[in-house]
Structure 1
Amino acid sequence: MSETEGNGAAAQPPQVKMQVLGQFIRDMSFENILVRKGVQGEMTPDITVQVALDARKRQPDHQYEVITKFTISSKNKGDETQLFLMELEYGGVFHVENVPEEQLHPFLLIECPRMLFPFVRRIVSDVTRDGGFPPLNLEPVDFVALYRQEIARRAAEQQAQAAPAN
C-alpha cells in the first residue's frame, strides 16, 4: 500500500505520547535572612529568579527524569540587604513516546518543565508565605527562550574553546 490510504489522506506519523509518572522535590531550602539578622526598617524587595533545567534517560524504555532548579533571591532595593533565599529542585518522571530523536532534547527541556511549573509555583508561594513573607507568585517562565539561551551559550562556549589562543 502507498503513502496514502484508500480515502486519499496521507499517512499520519504516530501521535506523541507524554505521561507524568511522578513528581517530587529533590532538594529545597529556604533561608529567612531578614529574621535571622534582625534587620529593621522599611524594606522594598527586589526579587531575582534563576532557572536551570536538566534531563536524563531512565532505565525503562521511554522514561526520562526532568529536574527544574529555581534559585530565588530577595534583596532590599535600598541597601542590597538579603531578605530571603530559596532554592528548589523539583523533578518529574515522564513517559515519552513517538518524539523524533532530533526533537527529544528540546521536548524534554521545554514541554516537561511546562507541565511541572504550576506545582513549582504553588510550592514557592506556600513556602514564602509560611516563611513570613507575602506569598510569591512566580511569573510564567518562557521555557522556549530559556532553551534557546542555553543552546546559544553552549555554542559560544564551544566556539571559544575551538578558537586558537594568542
Structure 2
Amino acid sequence: MAENENGAAEQPAQVKMQVLGQFVRDLSFENIVAQKGIQGDVQPDIQVQVNLDAKKRSVEHQYEIIAKFTINSKTKDKGQPLFLMELEYGGIFHVENVPEEQLHPYLLIECPRMLFPFVRRIVSDVTRDGGFPALNLENIDFVALYRQELARRAEAEKADTNVS
C-alpha cells in the first residue's frame, strides 16, 4: 500500500457503482396450456436457466449487463409443457475503482444482483397475467453461478486441449 506525506497508508478508492438504466431487451411467454389444453389437476415442474453477459460500452466506466432467463414449466407426472418464458433483461452500469482483475466477477455478480428484484417482478406479473399462479423466483446465488461458469469454461478448455 502506498503511503501519503504523513506516513499513513492511503486507502484504496471507494468502489462506485450506479445503475444508469434498465430495460427488457426481449420477452416471450408461450402459454402452451391455452394453446393445446391440458385437463385435470396439474402439478408443475419448473426449471430456471440463467445466463449472464457483460460488455464494455463506448463511454468510459460504462458496462451493459444482460441477464437471460429461460423458465420452462412442465407437468410433473407426464412432462407435458405448460408454459415457456424467455426474458432478456439488461442494465447499464457506471462502475469505477474496481481493480481490473476483479472487474469481470464484479460485473457478473454484483450487477445482476441489482437487477434481480426487477426480473422477479416481471416474471411474477407475466406468469400471473398468463393465467398461472404468480411465479416468485427464488433468490439466485450469483457467486455460485459465476463459479459454475468458470468451471464449465475450464472443462471446455481442457476438452479442447485433449482433442488437439
TM-score, normalization: structure 1? 0.95
CA shift for structure 1 position 5: 5.7
Distance 2:77 2:62 in 1: 47
CA RMSD of aligned residues (A): 1.2
Deviates further, 34-43 or 121-130: 34-43
Distance 1:38 1:152 in 2: 41
Matched ranges for 1:73-84 at <5 A = 73-84=72-83
Quote the residue 1:24 is aligned against: 23
Q: Is the 8 A contact 1:5 1:11 kept in 2?
A: no
Quote the residue 2:156 is aligned against: 157
**Percent of paired sites with the same residue:** 73
CA shift for structure 1 position 110: 0.2
Please give the secondary structure, in 2, of the residue aligned with 1:132: coil
CA shift for structure 1 position 111: 0.2
Distance 1:113 1:86 in 2: 19
CA shift for structure 1 position 10: 2.0
Unaligned runs of 5+ residues in structure 1 are none
| Residues 13-33 of structure 1 deviation map (CA, whole Å, 9 limit, x = unaligned) | 100000000000000000100
Quote the residue 2:139 is aligned against: 140
The question of 1:107 aligning with 2:106 is answered yes
Runs of 4+ in 1 over 3 A off after TM superposition: none
CA shift for structure 1 position 142: 0.4
Please give the secondary structure, in 1, of the residue aligned with 2:146: helix
| Residues 45-103 of structure 1 deviation map (CA, whole Å, 9 limit, x = unaligned) | 01000000000000000000000000001100011010000000000000000000000
CA shift for structure 1 position 38: 1.2
Equivalent pairs counted in the alignment come to 163
Please give the secondary structure, in 2, of the residue aligned with 1:18: strand
Q: Is the 8 A contact 1:65 1:91 kept in 2?
A: yes
CA shift for structure 1 position 163: 1.4
Unaligned runs of 5+ residues in structure 2 are none
TM-score, normalization: structure 2? 0.96
Quote the residue 1:123 is aligned against: 122
